[in-house]
Structure 1
Amino acid sequence: MATVLNVNDDEANRYLVNRILEMSGYHVLEAATGMAALLMAEKHRPDVIVLDVKLPDISGYEVCARLRANAATSAIAVMHTSATFITPDKKVQGLEGGADAYLTQPYEPSELIATVRSLLRLRHAEQQARLRTDQLIEMDRRKDEFLAMLGHELRNPLAAIMTAIGILERKGPVDTKEARMHGIIQRQTHHLARLVDDLLDVSRITRGKVELRKEPLDLAESFQQVLSILRPRVEARGLKLEVRLPQTPLWLEGDATRLEQIFTNILDNAAKYTDQGTVSVELFQEGVDGSAQAVLRVKDTGIGIPPEKLAGVFDLFAQVDTSLERSRGGLGIGLTLVRTLVRMHGGSVEATSGGYGEGSEFVVKLPLLAPERIPLLNAANAVDARQARRILLVEDNSDARQSMRELLELWGHQVAVAPDGVQGVEMALTHAPDVALVDIGLPGVDGYQVAQALRARVGRNIRLVALTGYGEVEAHTRALKAGFDLHVTKPVRPADLERILSNL
């Protein structure tokens, strides 16, 4: 049974409305003043309030405003009634002030009941929508927690595999068959790692959780690194890769990891949708000084994009290949990430195609640094990447620990290992390492606590690097607050790890 609060200082009018409502099956409460109505509304939470505008203490307009301002009563339906304020401007004032309906007296009993029923239906629909929204928010929160845990659980084994690949590459294959197997493992592991990153990134992007870690960098050099990884993949598909790069650096302020992600997704997309022919890549500068921008043009001779799908090619989960066999693979999120990350760098991206069988072209434009902001390179600051260091590795995954240790020792470093945080802190105190590579998800004492303990007991004489499967912005921020110098998401490529150690 719905409850209606009837607020009117006229006793006869109040009694009449009460009887009409009660005869229609409603439970009726009553109040003669505005303040009494506010108290009863907060205490009893009626479904509808029939509120006269002219009251002896405060007006019905003011009562409605206070009801809407109070979180406990803001959802209650309010219907103004008045025999005095009946002009259109008064009705507008009441409705603009938060009322859901406005009846002028005299009105028929059937009109009153019909309006009450209408307001009840409206409030019921709003309650259902609010409940559904709360459920969706909770489901989204659980989904985010699941994705974070999924990323951690997937990245740990990927880290061990990728490190082991780095060791095999250093030793070289025994024969051509073994070399092919190494290549297959390497390509598929990188592909799986990229899928995991894309899956987690799209969740962060939809929540606005992606932050760029910008620094001045040479775009041409970054692109060269991507090419060195992707060229074998493209050529393994029997495609010809034509590349034209600038002879001079292209300096911009950007996030190196995110820029590599942009390049990788675009090039991988071009190779994936090209069965035979050529993938042409051109990187060059357009404009001068303050208006200069880097332009990346990637053109393929692949299956092309039909006109009806071209406009939505950057939309989330959009797929050009929708056939049952799904021969092209992919999650349909790579180009969404490209567009978002390019825009976050202040750039633009567009796609063109002549249709099926006509190939595609993607053009990315990114703003370059003004000449006065380009950093001066000092050769005296260069650090020998092969400089031997004392390294402490704290990792609870035995495969990851063993493969990482062998890789670091292969580079000439002295390596001590610990399977948990407690032993890690003890070994840091006894072995005095230059660098500590610390996993976050450790048993007992986690990596954050290890970093805090080392900063408190060792000080700033040790470089701390968080190696973790948790790649969220929150995890990065928490790592820096705990005392880490760097936060690196697993799996880390051997070449990247070598660069990190040289830069410390």
Structure 2
Amino acid sequence: MTISASATILNVNDDEATRYLSTRTLTMAGYRVLEAGTGEEALRLAEQERPDVVVLDVKLPDISGYEVCQRLRARPETASIAVMHTSATYVTPDKKVRGLEGGADAYLTEPFESEELIATVRSLLRMRRAEQELRRRAEQLTETDRRKDLFLAMLAHELRNPLAAITTAVGILERRTSVDPKDGRMVSIIQRQTNHLARLVDDLLDVSRITRGKVELRRLRVDLRGVLEQVLTTFHPLAEGRHLKLESRLPAMPLWMEGDTTRLEQVFTNLLDNATKYTDAGGSIQVRVELSPAGDGSPGALVRVKDTGIGIRADVLPVVFELFSQADESLERTRGGLGIGLTLVHNLVEMHGGRVEAHSDGPGKGSEFVVWLPLLPAASVSEQEVVLPTLVKRRRHILLVEDNADARQALQDLLETWGHRVEVAADGLRGLELAVQRTPELALVDIGLPGLDGYRVAAELRAKMGHGIRLVALTGYGGTDDQSRARQAGFDLHLVKPVKPDELSRLLSEL
């Protein structure tokens, strides 16, 4: 075996004769050898020289070799150095165990043959190099993962700007009466495909955040039945467009639980999207809800989403919730999708304290996804929590700060169609000037603005106008850190592009 001349060994022993013999053996084997006669000197040399291996006698005049080893392991700069204990007196099994438990990588009893010393050093060097290679690869993977997350965030931001403009423009077209029925069909197609693209962007980012533990639920008391009704209302037109029969059977009373409304909607949107994607025209989708207490008697609900689609093979069922797993693996990829929707479903359901299962009798026999979620005890839901807010509509004075020309024009037209008075600015500095001069009651501010970004605009407006203006962030960045930064800058709300017209209308009504 060829030995690298760059390998450095620190030989620590207070007995000069023993230290000399070990140093000579190691030097003749091609190693660079440093010497120390005390524990403190060994620690100083280890920190300065960073040797590859320390050959460390247990019995030293100042501090024991056990303590030297522990202190080496405790310091980040010396923690990875390989340590081999040697001793002529501390040779009982309990002493060896103490040394190894204290952080040593090997233990030799003196006297030892030179071949045994060299072989042990070589073994430790191989181990150290393997650890260094693993650490280097781990650092590369961490950096690659960081760059991937940064790329996904930038990609989502760039995709959401045009999606925001398209969504807003379609919202305007939907409210106009057209003589030609084809126009209405084209608008519906654009709206459905834009919503689909927006969901893909959200899923792509969410699966990255969830796998890194970066998603936190905004837990509130939520009516699960209301969540399902909202999702079903959204999917009825899509099902009709695909010539599918969408049936539902929901309980008459509310199903109160503690959860995140947005994430729960995401769960059932993905399940219904999956069902419509894998069910051909003429098929059917059923959504049923059953009360199902947990094993300890606590309340719970089962939500069943069953379709008559292409089904799932038996070998795919065990991995259907794994990332990038798909039922349609044909070269044609006629069903589309990224293979991440069910991974999101599984993780989000578990984050709510629930579970999800997939069932199918095989190809061509449809599939069923069953979600169990815990419900709140009836006594914990007060009467006030079932009262819905009253929506009050009124004309408002709005400042829109957006650098994307298409998105700015489309959103301005939509707001003016609703009767609002709108001021517009293409950059942060102009937006700040208009806000101070015209004193709008609400400012919709993009974050990625030239010159003065949205965070600085918000901070300046809060400093100049206090709470006399409501600030809403419009951005393609939707991570938890982005939301926290928006709140710290002074924003009242954080909306992720593209914002659906109905959501924006509701926001203005509830303001």
TM class by shorter chain equals over 0.9
- Seen in structure 2, the aligned counterparts of structure 1 residues 77 and 379 have a Cα distance that, compared at 3 Å, is closer
Judge conservation of contact 1:152–1:468 (CA < 8 Å) in 2: yes
How do residues 163-174 of structure 1 correspond to structure 2 at under 5 angstroms? 163-174=168-179
Secondary structure of 1:361's counterpart equals: strand
**1:456 lines up with 2:442 in the alignment:** no
**1:357 lines up with 2:361 in the alignment:** no
TM-score between the two structures when normalised by the length of structure 2? 0.95
Provide the C-alpha distance between the structure 1 equivalents of 2:388 and 2:348, rounded to a whole number of angstroms. Answer: 34
- What is the CA-CA distance between 1:368 and the residue it aligns to? 2.4
Provide the C-alpha distance between the structure 1 equivalents of 2:383 and 2:297, rounded to a whole number of angstroms. Answer: 16
**1:151 lines up with 2:183 in the alignment:** no
- What is the CA-CA distance between 1:370 and the residue it aligns to? 3.0
| Among 51, 57, 60, the residue aligned to 2:56 | 51
Q: What is the aligned-residue identity percentage?
A: 65
Judge conservation of contact 1:251–1:374 (CA < 8 Å) in 2: no
- What is the CA-CA distance between 1:429 and the residue it aligns to? 2.0
Give the AA of the match of 1:56: P
| Among 484, 487, 502, the residue aligned to 1:480 | 487
The answer for the alignment partner of 1:279 in structure 2 is 285
Unaligned runs of 5+ in 1: none
- Seen in structure 2, the aligned counterparts of structure 1 residues 379 and 230 have a Cα distance that, compared at 3 Å, is closer
Aligned Cα RMSD in Å? 1.8
- What is the CA-CA distance between 1:99 and the residue it aligns to? 0.6
Judge conservation of contact 1:290–1:370 (CA < 8 Å) in 2: no
| Among 91, 99, 103, the residue aligned to 2:96 | 91
Provide the C-alpha distance between the structure 2 equivalents of 1:433 and 1:286, rounded to a whole number of angstroms. Answer: 51
Provide the C-alpha distance between the structure 1 equivalents of 2:358 and 2:52, rounded to a whole number of angstroms. Answer: 54
Give the AA of the match of 1:203: S
Q: How many pairs align?
A: 503
Judge conservation of contact 2:174–2:184 (CA < 8 Å) in 1: no
Provide the C-alpha distance between the structure 2 equivalents of 1:203 and 1:113, rounded to a whole number of angstroms. Answer: 48
Give the AA of the match of 1:24: A
- What is the CA-CA distance between 1:251 and the residue it aligns to? 2.4
How do residues 126-137 of structure 1 correspond to structure 2 at under 5 angstroms? 126-137=131-142
Give the AA of the match of 1:277: G
Judge conservation of contact 1:216–1:375 (CA < 8 Å) in 2: no
The answer for the alignment partner of 2:501 in structure 1 is 494
- What is the CA-CA distance between 1:411 and the residue it aligns to? 1.3
Judge conservation of contact 2:270–2:342 (CA < 8 Å) in 1: yes
Provide the C-alpha distance between the structure 1 equivalents of 2:260 and 2:308, rounded to a whole number of angstroms. Answer: 30
Unaligned runs of 5+ in 2: none
Give the AA of the match of 2:384: L
| Among 184, 197, 210, the residue aligned to 1:192 | 197
Judge conservation of contact 1:347–1:366 (CA < 8 Å) in 2: yes
Provide the C-alpha distance between the structure 1 equivalents of 2:443 and 2:412, rounded to a whole number of angstroms. Answer: 12
Give the AA of the match of 2:287: V
**1:125 lines up with 2:133 in the alignment:** no
Give the AA of the match of 1:485: D
Give the AA of the match of 1:7: V
- What is the CA-CA distance between 1:248 and the residue it aligns to? 2.5
Provide the C-alpha distance between the structure 1 equivalents of 2:389 and 2:288, rounded to a whole number of angstroms. Answer: 32
**1:426 lines up with 2:433 in the alignment:** yes
- What is the CA-CA distance between 1:292 and the residue it aligns to? 2.6
The answer for the alignment partner of 2:445 in structure 1 is 438
| Among 387, 390, 396, the residue aligned to 2:394 | 387
Q: Deviations over 1:107-142 (max 9, x none)?
A: 111111000011111111111111111111111111
How do residues 12-31 of structure 1 correspond to structure 2 at under 5 angstroms? 12-31=17-36
The answer for the alignment partner of 1:142 in structure 2 is 147
Provide the C-alpha distance between the structure 2 equivalents of 1:295 and 1:435, rounded to a whole number of angstroms. Answer: 42
- What is the CA-CA distance between 1:420 and the residue it aligns to? 1.3
- What is the CA-CA distance between 1:287 and the residue it aligns to? 4.8
The answer for the alignment partner of 2:409 in structure 1 is 402
Q: Deviations over 1:207-231 (max 9, x none)?
A: 1111122223332223222222222
- What is the CA-CA distance between 1:285 and the residue it aligns to? 3.9
